[in-house]
Amino acid sequence: MNRAVFLDRDGTLNEDSGYFHEADKLVVFPEVPEALRLLKDAGFQLFVVTNQSGIGRGMYPQEDMEDVHQALQEYLLPFKVQVDDFFFCPHAEEDACSCRKPLPGMLFDAQEKYDLDLSASYLVGDHPSDMEAGTAAGCTTVFVLTGDGLEEFAKLEGTGKRIAKFVATDMLDAARLILVHESRRAKIMKS
C-alpha cells in the first residue's frame, strides 16, 4: 500500500481570495515547492483535496478550477515536483454530499484509486474542516497557520479542543514535521 499527503489547496498551497478560480492570479506560497519536494523524496504521493462549491453555485465553471490546477503544476515544474492527482467537491454545504470536507469522501476516493494506506498518510490544511476530514479517514493531521489558519486557530485556542496532531507555521514546516514523525514512527516499529 502507498502513503500519501493530502493537501488542501487555497490557504495551504496558495493565497486564498475566496472562491478562487482565476489561474492567471495564482500566487503559490514561496515555501511550497521545497515542501512538496521533501515529501516526494520521502516517498509520499501528493494529492490536492479541495472544496469548490463555487462550481455548484454557478459562480465559475469546472474548467476554471482545472486551469488553476494546471497553473499550479506548471509553477511546480521547474522545481521537479508535481501533484499526483486532484480531487474536488463541487457541492455546496446544503447539497449534503459525501465528498465535501469535513467529510472524508475525497480521501476515500483517492484511497480506492491509488491503493493508499490512510493510517500511514497525512492531511495538511488551514481549516478545521480539513482536520475533521483527515481524522475521519484515519490520517494524521497537520494544521497550517497560513491562509485562514491563524484566525481559525485563534478561535479554537480558548476552547481546549485539539483539532490536529500537529500545528505548523506553513507548508515547509508541515513537511518537516511529517518527516520527523515518520522517522520516530520508523524507530518505534524497529524496536
Going by their DSSP bridges, the two strands 85-89 and 45-51 should be labelled as parallel
Res 160: pLDDT: 75
Q: Number of C-alpha atoms within 13 angstroms, CB side, residue 95?
A: 18
Res 94: pLDDT: 87
**Domains in the chain, CATH or no CATH each:** 4-190 (3.40.50.1000)
Res 191: pLDDT: 65
Q: By the 8 A CB rule, do 47 and 86 touch?
A: yes
Q: Which tens digits make up the pLDDT trace of 127-175?
A: 999 999 999 999 999 999 999 999 998 888 777 777 899 999 999 999 9
Q: Which of 137, 128, 55, 67 is nearest to 95 (CA)?
A: 55
Catalytic residue among 8, 126, 130, 148: 8
Low-confidence residues of the chain: pLDDT under 50: none
Active-site residue, 85 included:
no
Catalytic residue among 10, 130, 170, 173: 10
pTM (predicted TM-score) = 0.95
Q: Which residues contact 161 (CB under 8 A, 6 or more apart)?
A: none
Active-site residue, 117 included:
no
* Dihedral (CA of 163, 35, 184, 186) sign: positive
